[in-house]
Structure 1
Amino acid sequence: FASDPIPTGESYNFTLSDANACGADQVNGVLICACPVSATLSSDITICEGTIGEIQINLTGNGPWDIDYEIDGVPQPTINTAMDIYTLFVTTPGSYQFISAGDSDCTSDISASDPILVEVLPVPTAIISGDETICAGESVQFEVYLTGAGPWEMVYAINNIDEPAVTITSSPYNIGTDVDGTYTITSIIDSQCNGNSEGAATLTVNPLPTASIAGDQYFCTGESASIEILLSGIPDYVVSYTIDGIAQPDLEISTGGTFDLITDQAGIYELTGITDNNCMGSALGLVTLTEEALPTALLEKGSYVICEGSSQAMIIDLTGSPDWTVDYTVNGLAQTALNSSVNPLIVNMSNEGIYELTSVSDAFCNNSVGNEQVDIVYHPPISIESSEDVEICSGESVDIWVQAMGGLGNIYTYDWQMTDLVSSNENNATYAPENTSLISVTINEECDYNQTFEIPILVNQLPPISISSLTEMCGEGIINLVNSTPSSFVGDSCLWIIEGDSTYECSAFDQQFNLGTYDIELQITSPEGCFNSLFLEDHISVFPSSVSDFYFLPEEVTTVEPNVAFYNLSTESDSYTWSFGGEGISNDFEPEFDFGTRAGIWRVCLSTDNEFGCVDSTCQDLRVKTDLLVSIPNSFTPDGDGVNDYFFPVLYGADASDYQFSIYDRNGILVFDSDDIDERWSGSYRTSTDYYAADALFHWKLRTRALGSIERQIYTGSVLMIR
């Protein structure tokens, strides 16, 4: 017996009796139940400001649970949870007192448990600030102010690149450095917490200015020189220097890069110091500046007379440092300058005119020259007239002439070259050159003139005629005749002569040729009018063609009768080669061939040729079919006498891979079944080796197909087993 639920603290009263109301008992009292709910709490915690702590509460009873608690005596919202391990996340410092915990059945008082103390520590800070500017080689210190509980571990960065961590025991902390860049604090940790940083400091390191000169120089008398000073740093600059050890006024320079010091004072220039807007730097270098005297050029003056082809020496005396360049004019017109590394300068003059020096320069300087001149007078050269340029064809001759004029105008002699000369008479000559030539004639005159004159003779070559074509052909047909003479030798006139028939055609053309032999001639006139011809006797021969043809019998070939006779229908042929689909070859005129028991399609080809080398071939496909022969007896006697003891089909041309032979009794029961073409039936049931006791009639079914065929054949019948 179980009563209805009774709340704890309630009284109960039960009366017990049987069905006859005998033996009644009274049971009563007050029900007192202990609450099973409990809560176990974690210990005190310490957290850093801005982080979250955890208080873990382990619960017993039947969830869900309600938990009441206070912070520093101030009630907090009730916690509702269905988890038996509950985590309370806290950020507020104080004393956490848990009052009660209850499930769906009852509530337990847990206020007697110790409160949990939550301590929140402040985070440390690091502050850096300040901008500094120094010169290279100097250093500076940046102060970092720290809060929190030391010691601290700090990481700072220069231009966003972290430096190694440093341990600090007191604030402020000094960062000593000479590195250009922006300084920031990337990490600060005290003994308890990770902290925050703020601010930045910037260090600007100015490079030291420099000034340098190098390279000795010179200047010409009356001119000035420029000494280039190379500068670095930040303008404005003040540069100090000396000349031959004597200090000079400082140079004040407002632009960077380079500065040109213009001077006409020779000496040794040395830089001694430099400052820019920020720093004092270093100045280096020596330059020796030398003054060079101006060069001069003096001419041996006079007037001279020369013949054509001779010359007069012009002597020029020079002063200064070699090498020299002398500029001059002839009749007031500037000429190509004269160059010399020696003194005096000697120049051979061969042209008439007034030669006057205008300027001279040596290795260092340039100077003008005045009133230095000579006069040159000479006999004029002879002039020559001649026949016009000549153009001939190879193998021809030509008459040419020349006529001299000028010089002293007296007697001229003509000396003609001997090569290709046919004849000559003073200023006339006949030549027959094989190739394009320059015919030279040397003319002499009283002023010892010796002048050679050349007359070009253009010799056009005869067309080098070439013919390309077949020279032999089997059977009448068309041959392409090609004029393979280089196109540059082919003009508008080309004549083909074939066995007396003429055809005007310069390019390739097709010509019909019948059986026989043909002479070919080609005549060509070049664009320059030069004629040539080529005759080829019996150039083209046309032979009878060999023609291959055949047929075979029987037209239907089977594996039962695989022998085939081939009949040759070829013409104009002397030899024959038969190939039978890779199974054999024959050189008989009309062979026979046995293709055996293999079914298939055989490629039979006949190749022929004749005494002229003309060949031909023809092919035909020959199909060999498979004959399927089936023979099955209608009775057998399985009595063990060795005669007709087994029943089986006799097959010819059957595919053993596709075979099924089945035997049934009169009731249609399968008594024998085999896919082995060699297996025979002995008259026994297929699950026993015993013979059937009585004679009987059986039915059979045969499934097979011919070799090389995909079509199955089905045969049925009956057999009588006789004991």
Structure 2
Amino acid sequence: VIDLNDRCLQVAVGTPVVFYEIPGAVLDGSQAICDGETANLTVTFTGTGPWSIEYQDDQGNVVQLSNITDNPLLIPVNPNDTTTYTLTDVRTATCVGPADGSATVLVNRPPEVINVIEQCNFPLTHYTVTFTIVGGDPSSYTVSGHPGTLTGNTFVSDEIPKATTYQFIVDDGNGCGPVVFGQFVDCVCGTEVGSFQPDPQEFCGAQPVSATGLYLGGEVLDSNDVLCFLLHTGDPFNPIATNPNEPVFPFDPGTMAFETTYFVSAIAGNDDGSGCVDLIDPCRIVSNDVPVVWHEIPSAVLLGDADICAGESTDLTFTFTGNPPWTFTYQDDQGNVFTETTSNPNHTITLSPNQTTAYTLLDVSDANCPGDVSGAAVVGVHRAPQVVNVERVCDATNDFFHLEVTLQGGDPATYMVSGGSGTFSGNVFISEDIPNEGSYQFFIDDAFGCGPIEISGAFACDCDTNAGAMTGQDQGCGPDDLVQGFHDDTNLFLDPDDNLIFVLHDAAGNILGNILATGTTPEFGFIPGVMNFGQTYYISAVAGDGDGQGGVDFDDLCLHITAGTPVVFYELPTIDISQDLTVCSGDEAKFVLSMTGTGPYDVVYNDGNSDITLNNVPNGQTITLHPTQTTTLTLVSVTDLGTGCSNSAGASATAFVNQPVSAGVALGDFEVCFGDGTIINLADTLSGADPGGQWLDASGNPVSGTFNTAGVGEGTYLFTYTVDGPDPCPDDAEQVAVVVHPLPTADAGEDQELNCSVTEVEIGGPGSSTGNVTYTWNNGLG
């Protein structure tokens, strides 16, 4: 280190050194201008000037500025389109620094107005102006000058009186406008249309309508006008069809309807390019109307082919289309012609011819037009067959006989028989074999049903076989029981080749119907899947020729079938009991019995101690208990008194019994003196209380089971003990009181003096406690 105080110190001439601050520049000034306006960019410098800078636009054009002393520097620019400028270089005479920043100049142009349409209304009293706005900012378009509606970029003015000059001012939020335009508008029309002779026209069917002869002419047209004819429903400006040549229009079933009034009109106005009138031409003019109606061609159809019996009647039905009333003509095949008028589209005529007759529809017309007819009807008249002779023929063994019935009339091709079976041979009916001494009943008719004729009676051949008789009746209970018929053999007679068997069947009397089972004894069981419970069946004795297998030949002509013993199988009754329930001791418990069968019923159940019988009770019977302990009812048996059938049972239900709770009985108020600090066990203030309850203070707040009187004021403190009862038993509560009494006070009173004159004084002051209080005086002398 050099001692700068050294007297020999020598200092050489110094070299000059200068430190320059590094320059810096930031370009900003983004802004929006209108086309043709000038924007100022701002460059802010750091360091010491003068400065030189270089910037360029987004087209690559470079601008250099030097010897700048203004800070900040304003650079005026006038771009034709939106342009971004970026600072690329800054420097001084001594140093180069960092250049930063850019600015975007948004160039806005005013909106433009195109497609201006001036439209006069039909009375030619007002007009509207419609135009389209393009360019500018569509979100901020504004239109002033006249009221109207701007929808998107289309403006439609309200109506403006004719023969006036309008002016509109159009701008947007950029403020680069406005665009102002307008002119004088008048509404004058010289077009005239001719007229029609307004005679209503009606046509039948879909033929074209022509009003050519009704158009009287008289139209006046300018150079661009045309005359056109319209078909419409009343609004000529919403036509169904147009014809630029003549007032002729076809019927179009796709868009038109019969019985609807349409109108033919002429219209004159500007050509819409198709040869007809432009309907938005304000000078269009429409003539008067010619009403036109197309009527549907009516039709009539005859229906009613029928077959009836002599003396009966039938209906012919005439179905019409078109407009009522209808007048129609028909004839029968005897040449009789009938004419009627009706307004019913489904008209019927009741006829009762004596013989088969054909009817034909000849013509029809409705309120407007003649129509088309079709259809015919034939009414066949038939009579029942008649019996000429009945012959009864026994077989060689006299076990069976049959009938031979000779018939005439009716329709032999469709003869039929009911009540029994047999065959037809031409006009002779040969019945099936009928057991000897049997009765018969046949009904004979043909397909036309004009009968039937009855052939009935009884006949006996010399057959001796007799199966005796069946008596009594029996019933079975359930599928495992047996039923028995009771055979009386008093009149039993069997030929040497006869067998006697017993048949279980489903037909009453001496007819077997469906044979369900056979046996050598009159005892049978229930056949599941074949027999039904509750249905009456029969056990008959049957005697006849043996079949070689121990049975009888059911085709034996002398087969003898007794009337059967009625037997019935009844389904075993069942019983169930409603579900378990829970009650409070001594409360009512109800159980409902559900039985199946005919009813009423005898029911036996057990209550855990003994069997109990309920006699003659209905389905849904209720058993009511008041148990004090849990009790289970077990069903033992059920008897259906309607059928006499019994069944065992085993279902059970339990009445679960919950015991009521007790919050005890208060033993009286618990009393302490203020400040003695006694801790009271609240449970000691109750007698007979169930454990597990909750203590609450007078405000309903839970407290512990003790009460510390230390620190509490004088007064009465109430506590409630609550025990929750098990459902459905109620809760129980008991209230106790703890009384904190104030301590007694003693007041000796004012000091007193005894002397020769006053030998006796009364001591004691008003501050002493009153009531049942004992005071002790002490003279202080011991």
Would you call these one fold, judging by a TM-score over 0.5?
no
TM-score normalised by structure 1 residue count: 0.36
Larger Rg: 1
Identify, as 1 or 2, the structure richer in strand.
1
